[in-house]
Amino acid sequence: MEEPPNLELKSLPKTLKYAYLGEDEKLLVMIASNLSKNQEESLLSVLKENKETIGWTMADIKGISPTIVQHQIHLTENAKPRRDLQR
């Protein structure tokens, strides 16, 4: 359940490690690295049973309109970005 060598995943602090819930190592989760083997198996079992409730992508989150979690900033044509000084 450790990081596979063929994927370039972000380095994690020593307190975390990668684990996979899905077949073909598709559903990636980060878990505590100090769990015993029994605790890790129990945690992954619960996560696998409830993996439909985890939002892997925005499309997976059911019941939440994308307009709530996404926004756009409408700019006028030929607008130039600028940064105001901190007050």
pTM flag (> 0.95): no
CA distances from 1 to 34, 35, 58, 61 (A): 14, 13, 26, 26
Tell me, yes or no, whether 83 lies in a domain.
no
**Averaged pLDDT in 10-residue chunks for the chain of 87 residues:** 59 91 79 94 90 72 72 77 83
pLDDT on residue 32 = 94
Q: Is 87 part of a structural domain of the chain? A: no
Q: Please tell me the predicted confidence (pLDDT) of residue 4.
A: 47
Provide the residue range defining the domain that includes 4.
1-78
Q: What is the pLDDT of residue 5?
A: 47
How many domains is the chain built from?
1
